[in-house]
Structure formats: structure tokens, C-alpha cells
Structure 1
Amino acid sequence: MFISLFLAVITPIVFGAAWIGELYYRELDWQETQIILDNTAIRLGQNDLETVQRIEQDRKTIKLLHPKFHQSLACSLVPATAIGCGKLAKTLRATIRGINHASGVKAKLGWERGTAIVDHEINKSPQKFMLERTTELVLRQARCSVCGEVEGLILTNLEQAKSRLFEMDKRGLSTSVSLVSEGASRWNYRLWAK
């Protein structure tokens, strides 16, 4: 009698404690997974932000050189200064194109570095994660409306610059990170957790 009464009282308590314990460990696991996703997304966002800031800096440098290029073209039409100004225009054109080309290379390498950062985090984590991301950053080539010379690269498709990290599990946890324009060549990144 006493044993059956004892079991009747203790059994629900034991099962209740086990159930609460299971919920607690699931919650801890969920939080740990979300932290991994968020931290990796933050590192990715910082990398992508640095990449686009370098592109903007290169574009500013080209914009500083561009008026000098126009001036040298104009004075190359004057017979007295044609030779010197022609050489200067040629040098400035080569410099501008060199900076522009290097900017494209840096953008490609920066985007690939971001993907590599995530791959490294995914590979060392016990959980199964995946990354949704375009293979390279799509940029538009700006050109001068007067002379047609390159004026630097511009990121215009912000949706294309969005990446998503997600857990390959039934819980479907994910964190998205995207570059956002704050106007006047200012950029930041934003995270969305699900």
C-alpha cells in the first residue's frame, strides 16, 4: 500500500523533473546554436562591410584624380603644353584604370574571404550549418558622362549582398546578414535572426 502510494506520488515528480530537464537542455542547445549563427554572421557582416568600404575608398581616390585627368586632356589640346599634358593625361588614365582594376580584385577577394570565414566556422562546429550566398559580389562600373573613363565600382544590388546562415535541422534556426546603405557612401550591415 505504502509502496504504491509512494510510486503514485514520486513517479509524476520524477517524470516532471525529467521533462523540465529535457526542456532546459533543449533551450540551452537552441541558445548555443543561435549564438554560433549570430557570431558567425557578425564576422561575415564585418568582413563584407570592410570590403565595400574599400571599394568606396577606391572610388573616392578615382574621383579626386578625375578632374586632374580632365584638365590634362584640355591642356593637351594647346600646342604649347600638348606634349607635357598629353603624357600627364596618359599617366592619370593608367593610374585611374589601375586603381579601378585593383578595386575589383579586392572586392572579389574580400567576398571570398567572407565565405571562407563562414566555412571555417561551419567545419569546426558540431552542428550542421549551411551558407546561402552568391559566389561573388556583383558591382556596377561607374563611368564619366563627359569622357567615358571609369569612375570606380558601385554596389547597387543590396538584395544580392545578403547572406543567410541556417541550421540543417527541423528547428530551422537561421541568421541573415546584409549590407545596408546609410546614404552618402556610408555603409553598415544588419542581422536578422529567425
Structure 2
Amino acid sequence: REDGVDATAEPIPVGPAAHYLCGGVWVDEWGRTSLQRLYAIGEVSCTGVHGANRLGSASLLEGLVWGVRAATSIGAGLPDWKVADSRRIPHWQTERATDPADPVLIEHDMGTIKHTMWYYVGLVRRRRRLERALRDLSNLRQDIDAFYRTTRLSPEIIGLRNAGLAAIVVARAAWENRESRGCHYRED
């Protein structure tokens, strides 16, 4: 009723939503990637059990199963690992990164990424939209990279940088794939 819909008297409007990602890093049955000692589970991984599309809630069980399997595999290999001396790992922050993260810029840039991905790389994809998305995201990435290099690290600035990079990867993959399959639909 808050949204002006009376479910007892009229149909409930339903629309598409981007609530998960199909695809990801290829993993084996233990969650191992092609890089030694790197595992991927959950939304970041592609196990192959869903084919080209995934039904809602199915990924929850998949994440649990692959999580346990990855933990089992990691645990089996622990005796061979050497723990790095934390004093030998260089500090990530540079002397130039002195500015505090500006929440307005972060929120605006994140909103731009979300808007671009929804309208240009969303459910129905076309070449012109994808090209515009790649151009806009590449320009935004330059701004984000400059912001990232001069700002003290925080979860928000790291998340913004990673979201920008991931958006470009997804948009480029969608642009290169001209074949419709599963949840990737090219209208042109």
C-alpha cells in the first residue's frame, strides 16, 4: 500500500532487476582458479552448474557447497604454505595519497557507474549503447584513478575503483559477444 498498490484488488507490478551476475571466474569442482592457490566462490565464480542462466536462490546452495569444498582443498594444502613476514610487505599507501575520501564524489561516481550499467549494458544490449558505455566508463575511470591515487585508502574508495574496473570488463565482454545466449541478449 505504501507504493499505491493494493495487492488484494489489482495485480502487483513486476519488472526486471539486476540482482546477480551470471558468469565470473572459471573454477573447478574445488573452487580452484587457473592461478595457483587462488580460489573463487559465490557470485565471483562460474562453476558451470547453471549453464547460461541462473534461477533465483540457486546460487545460495552453490555458494555453500563450493565454499565448503574450497575450504577443504585449502586446508589440505596448508602444510606446504609459508607465511610471509608482514614486515617485508610494502605499505600500500603512498605519500601523495593524503586527501580524505570525499563521500559526495564517491556516491556520484558510483551512481554514474550504476546508471551506465543499467541503461547501456542492462537487460537488452545494443552495439551503440555498449560503445557509449565503454566510452563513458573509460572517461570515468581516468577520474577515479586520479582520485584513487591521491586519496587515503578506505573501503569506499577501493570499492569505487573496483566497481569501475568491473563495469568496464563486463561492458567490454558484452560488446565483444555478439551472440545472444542465456541472460546475455543482443538486440542487434
Output the TM-score relative to the length of structure 1: 0.25
Structure with the higher fraction of residues in strand conformation: 1
Could you say which structure has the larger radius of gyration?
1
Output the TM-score relative to the length of structure 2: 0.26
Q: Which has the higher contact order (CA 8 A, sep 6+)?
A: 1
